[in-house]
């Protein structure tokens, strides 16, 4: 007598057929101003090759928050104006959109 396979249970998935798309493996860098996606090796102190937007600016920083004091979540002593101009903030980190 042979055993029959279970009925109605979960099916086995062959994971070798799919390539997982994990969040940690994809990190495009979309610009605030024009939405252009930068590839690796760009200069964060330079400009956008598409629209010439300054990359080292508040609006392109990971800590930019329009609802926070001075529009920054870090303890900055004063507001840096304008927010889309190049600055020398020590807290600056390029914002990565995943």
DSSP 97: -
- Cis amide bond preceding 55, omega within 30: no
Length, in residues, of the chain: 98
pTM value is: 0.63
Report pLDDT digits (tens) over 52-78. 888 899 988 999 998 999 999 999 988
Number of neighbours of residue 48 by Cβ within 10 angstroms? 17
Q: Could you give the C-alpha distances from 22 to 27, 73, 81, in angstroms and in order?
A: 10, 28, 37
Residue 26 predicted with pLDDT over 60: no
């Amino acid at each position: 007598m042979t055993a029959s396979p279970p009925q109605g249970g979960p099916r086995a998935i062959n994971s070798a057929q799919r390539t997982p798309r994990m969040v940690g493996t994809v990190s495009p860098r979309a610009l605030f101003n024009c939405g252009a996606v930068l590839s690796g090796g760009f200069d964060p102190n330079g400009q956008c090759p598409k629209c010439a937007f300054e990359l080292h600016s508040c609006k392109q920083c990971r800590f930019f928050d329009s609802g926070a004091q001075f529009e920054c979540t870090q303890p900055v002593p004063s507001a840096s104006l304008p927010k889309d101009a190049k600055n020398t903030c020590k807290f600056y980190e390029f914002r990565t959109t995943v």
